[in-house]
């Protein structure tokens, strides 16, 4: 018997509201931090925050459209969508605008967007479909799945955007493992990667090498490459237990902290809301991941399991990386903190991914109705 399709209103009624609460809480806390961070840029806090709210409204629309379409239809067109995203990455290399040495943006006049953010979605979709159609249980299938992922990874590295390329690699690895790859293949790949690291060092650009050096010791270049890390550590540490209070953070207001509304938004929040506020952010993320993973465990569709694993890995890795670099525990990559950092492309892509995840959750509930 054909499964009855729920209307959009019926879908909304059965959404995972606990997860949505964590999402909206993170977003609005991010808007507050963006407003405060922007106040140090000639009073541009209102400008930054209002733009983020507009992008938030657009993201809600994107979420609802994605939810209405459903993850099954997206998976049906996964290869086509991935192909289009590869063409977008190629177009960036020809038509893209360069920002701070990296050619990552396409400028449409009214707004500009970063294709690398949306490729994360299509990569997860194509892997979810491919590894379930061709399970990576033998070496050719295992390598074939990674070859598909490598197409986007190579194009992103050429921009260059090593941070996003690492995200692609981690997503691909977890998706293939979840799809049932024997452990000898992932273990062999990790061993080969570790063995290649000394050679990969010579392929890095000088600024990328310096980021690794200052991660180990930021004081080797305190006024240059190590400046961001040092100022971010100061911001996080100076917040103490309860923080200095909203709009009272000095690191962003006095312009000591570079890119406070994007790369180092967690540092701004920690300085103003302290250890307690930072734990609150981590609790909201934990709540979000709990509900996300629960949806993946409940579904009987193996494609949906891989889809949820990919989305979870994407959000988790960027959260870990963004917070870790703010505290000086990980190298600086410029990855945004999901749902919190300023940026339309990242917020829209996160919202579409959330729509796919909620679609999995709703489809699971429909099977028990």
Which stretches of 258-349 are assigned E, i.e. beta strand?
Answer: none
pLDDT at res. 109: 61
Give the number of other CB atoms < 10 A from CB of residue 215: 18
Structure tokens at 125: 């979709």
Mean pLDDT for 99-117 is: 67
CB 40 within 8 A of CB 22: no
Residue 261's pLDDT is what?
83
Per-residue model confidence (pLDDT) at position 205: 74
Query: Radius of gyration over alpha carbons of the chain, in Å?
Result: 21
- Confidence grade of residue 350 (pLDDT, cut at 50, 70, 90): very high
DSSP for residue 352: H
Q: Is 30 left (phi over 0), alpha (psi -120 to 50) or beta?
A: alpha
**Cα separation values, 83 from 77, 129, 188, 252, Å:** 10, 14, 29, 41
What average pLDDT does range 200-218 have in this prediction?
77
pLDDT at 316: 94
Count the Cβ atoms, other than its own, within 10 Å of residue 43.
9
Residues 6+ apart with CB under 8 A from 44: 38
* Length reported for the chain: 369
The model's confidence at residue 367, banded by pLDDT at 50, 70 and 90, is: low
- Arithmetic mean of pLDDT, 113-127: 90
- φ, ψ of residue 110 to 5 degrees: the values are -70, -40
**pLDDT tens digit string along 44-99?**
778 889 999 999 999 999 999 999 999 999 999 999 999 999 998 888 777 766 55
For the cut 70, the answer to whether the pLDDT of residue 11 exceeds it is no
- List the structure tokens of 304: 């949906």
Check whether 36 has a pLDDT greater than 80. Answer: yes
Most confident of 198-202, 222-226, 269-273: 269-273
Q: How far apart are CA 230 and CA 328, in angstroms?
A: 8
Which among 157, 85, 128, 115 is positioned nearest to 308, based on CA atoms?
Answer: 128
Token couple for 116: 């690398």
> Closest Cα to residue 129, out of 63, 67, 179?
179
Report domain extents, the chain.
8-366
- Give the residue, 348 or 206, on which the prediction is more confident: 348
Q: Report helix, strand or coil for 238.
A: helix
The model's pLDDT over 308-328, given as tens digits with 9 standing for 90+, comes to 999 999 999 999 999 998 888
What pairing do the DSSP bridges indicate for beta strands 97-99 and 102-107?
antiparallel
**40 pLDDT above the threshold of 70:** no
pLDDT at 260 exceeding the cut of 90? no
Least confident of 75-79, 136-140, 202-206: 202-206
* pLDDT value for 102: 56
pLDDT for 204 equals 74
Rounded CA separation 199/57 (Å): 46
Q: How confident is the model at residue 105, as a pLDDT?
A: 62
Q: What is the dihedral of CA 266, 269, 271, 275, to 10 degrees?
A: -90
Taking every pair of Cα atoms in the chain, the longest distance, rounded to a whole number of angstroms, is 68
Pick from 228, 219, 268, 214: nearest CA to 245: 268
DSSP string for 165-187: HHHHHHHHHHHHHHTT--THHHH
């Amino acid at each position: 018997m054909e499964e009855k399709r729920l209307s959009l209103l019926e879908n909304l009624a059965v959404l995972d509201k606990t997860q949505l609460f964590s999402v909206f809480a993170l977003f609005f806390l991010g808007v507050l931090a963006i407003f405060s961070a922007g106040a140090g840029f000639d009073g541009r806090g209102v400008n930054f925050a209002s733009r983020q709210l507009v992008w938030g409204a657009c993201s809600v629309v994107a979420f609802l459209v994605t939810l209405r379409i459903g993850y099954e239809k997206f998976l049906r067109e996964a290869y086509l969508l991935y192909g289009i995203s590869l063409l977008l990455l190629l177009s960036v290399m020809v038509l893209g605008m360069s920002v701070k040495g990296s050619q990552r943006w396409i400028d449409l006049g009214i707004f500009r967007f970063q294709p690398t953010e949306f490729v994360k979605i299509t990569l997860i979709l194509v892997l979810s479909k491919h590894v379930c159609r061709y399970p990576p249980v033998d070496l050719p299938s295992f390598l074939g799945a990674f070859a598909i992922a490598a197409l986007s990874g190579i194009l992103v590295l050429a921009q260059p955007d090593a941070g996003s390329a690492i995200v692609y690699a981690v997503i691909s690895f977890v998706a293939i493992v979840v799809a049932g790859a024997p452990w000898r293949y992932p273990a062999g790949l990790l061993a080969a990667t570790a063995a290649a690291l000394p050679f990969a060092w010579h392929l890095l650009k000088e600024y990328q090498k310096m980021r690794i050096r200052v991660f180990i010791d930021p004081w080797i270049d305190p006024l240059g490459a190590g400046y961001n890390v040092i100022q971010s550590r100061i911001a996080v540490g100076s917040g103490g237990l309860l923080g200095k209070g909203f709009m009272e953070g000095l690191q962003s207001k006095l312009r000591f902290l570079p890119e406070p509304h994007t790369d180092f938004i967690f540092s701004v929040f920690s300085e103003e809301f302290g250890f307690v506020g930072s734990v609150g952010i981590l609790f909201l993320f934990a709540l979000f991941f709990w509900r996300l993973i629960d949806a993946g465990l409940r579904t009987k569709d193996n494609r949906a399991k891989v889809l949820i694993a990919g989305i979870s890995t994407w959000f988790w890795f960027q959260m870990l990386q963004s917070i870790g670099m703010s505290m000086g525990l990980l190298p600086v990559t410029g990855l945004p903190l999901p749902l919190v950092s300023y940026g339309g492309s990242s917020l829209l892509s996160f919202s579409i991914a959330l729509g796919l995840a909620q679609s999995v959750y709703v489809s699971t509930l429909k099977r028990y109705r």
